[in-house]
């Protein structure tokens, strides 16, 4: 088990109400951008934006450099999140203040890349995202670390299974999507509607880029799994999925897959996560090359410590990355 002192401190930490409730803390964590607006604005004013081309896709990176630093942290957002998602900004603020170089990556269809790509993002894009990451890594000297949130946590772990995974000294996955099918089956209605709205926004944007395609049939669909059944043959025609579960299995973080990690990894999850059920990660809690850190509270990508909206998952992650 871990010797992380910050983990020991926050393992059973109970934040004040309403941050000790899984739904409210998950939703309210978005206010972090407002509470910490001035510090965020100051950092964003110094951000270097780059467009990265990989095959037929374009992605972007947002880099903040600390003078003389040799520590590089690469951040991947959750599903259709972006460089300015609250948890991405939380990591930017915390680690930039510690003197790290921070590189926020927008995969295909995330943030400003939505209208750069005619083809859709899908869960098998970890290799494409990995190639984009590699281009950024190769341009910066020093030590490299990778951190992903939610679906970005799933990507971070799978990128660490690729040959390029050796470039990272450690990977940290926060509230990572472990088993998407399991999560969808247990996903509360509020979050189903939230992710459905994100997906419809993507379809509307893509409609402007496809001359003879009409995606309006998806606008009124409410069942995410039904949407995926309709969508997959169009997006991934090279695959013949007999069952939707075959697709989910391709990016599930299983014991067999985790053995392919090319570096050490840490997973930080909360027991009350309403989006990624903690039971979906039971099989990963005693794997040699994974440090599994479970807190009692935290919601999904929230871990809000107080009314200053400090994020205690960053303190745990920092210790995992060797930052005392």
**pLDDT at residue 3 in the model:** 62
**pLDDT at residue 117 in the model:** 96
Global pTM reads: 0.96
Cβ atoms of 310 and 15 closer than 8 Å: no
Taking 70 as the pLDDT cut, the residues of the chain under it are 1-3, 324
Domains parsed from the chain with CATH numbers: 5-188+251-320 (3.40.50.1820)
Residues 121-154: tens digit of each pLDDT: 999 999 999 999 999 999 999 999 999 999 999 9
Nearest to 14 by CA among 271, 298, 274, 279: 298
**pLDDT at residue 1 in the model:** 41
Residue 258 φ/ψ region, left for φ over 0, alpha for ψ in the -120 to 50 degree band, beta for the rest = alpha
Q: How far is CA 209 from CA 44, 51, 115, 124, 203, in A?
A: 30, 19, 8, 22, 10
At 86 the three-state DSSP class reads: helix
Sign for the pseudo-dihedral over CA of 290, 295, 296, 302: negative
**pLDDT at residue 227 in the model:** 87
How many helices (H) and strands (E) would you count in the chain? 13, 8
**pLDDT at residue 112 in the model:** 97
Nearest to 48 by CA among 111, 117, 102: 102
């Amino acid at each position: 088990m871990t010797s992380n002192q910050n983990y020991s401190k926050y393992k059973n930490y109970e934040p004040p109400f309403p941050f000790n409730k899984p739904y409210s803390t998950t939703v309210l964590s978005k206010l972090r951008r407002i509470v910490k607006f001035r510090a965020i604005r100051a950092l964003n004013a110094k951000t270097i934006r780059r467009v990265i081309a990989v095959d037929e896709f374009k992605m972007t990176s947002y880099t903040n450099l600390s003078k003389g630093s040799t520590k590089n942290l690469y951040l991947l957002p959750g599903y259709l999140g972006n460089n300015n998602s609250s948890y991405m900004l939380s990591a930017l603020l915390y680690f930039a203040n510690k003197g790290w170089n921070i590189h926020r990556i927008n995969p295909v269809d995330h943030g400003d890349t939505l209208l750069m790509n005619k083809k859709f993002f899908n869960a098998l894009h970890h290799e494409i995202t990995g190639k984009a990451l590699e281009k950024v890594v190769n341009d910066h000297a020093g030590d490299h670390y990778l951190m992903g949130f939610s679906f970005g946590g799933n990507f971070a772990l799978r990128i660490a299974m690729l040959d390029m995974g050796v470039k990272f000294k450690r990977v940290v996955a926060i509230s990572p999507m472990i088993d998407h099918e399991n999560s969808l089956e247990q996903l509360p209605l509020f979050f189903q509607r939230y992710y459905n709205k994100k997906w419809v926004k993507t379809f509307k944007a893509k409609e402007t880029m496809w001359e003879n395609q009409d995606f309006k049939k998806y606008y009124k669909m409410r069942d995410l799994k039904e949407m995926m059944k309709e969508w997959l043959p169009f997006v991934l025609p090279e695959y013949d999925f007999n069952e939707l579960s075959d697709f989910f299995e391709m990016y599930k973080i299983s014991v067999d897959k985790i053995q392919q990690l090319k570096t050490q990894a840490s997973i930080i999850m909360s027991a009350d996560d309403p989006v990624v059920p903690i039971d979906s990660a039971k099989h990963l809690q005693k794997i040699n090359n994974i440090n599994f850190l479970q807190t009692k509270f935290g919601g999904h990508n929230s871990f809000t410590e107080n009314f200053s909206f400090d994020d205690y998952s960053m303190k745990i992650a920092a210790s995992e990355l060797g930052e005392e």
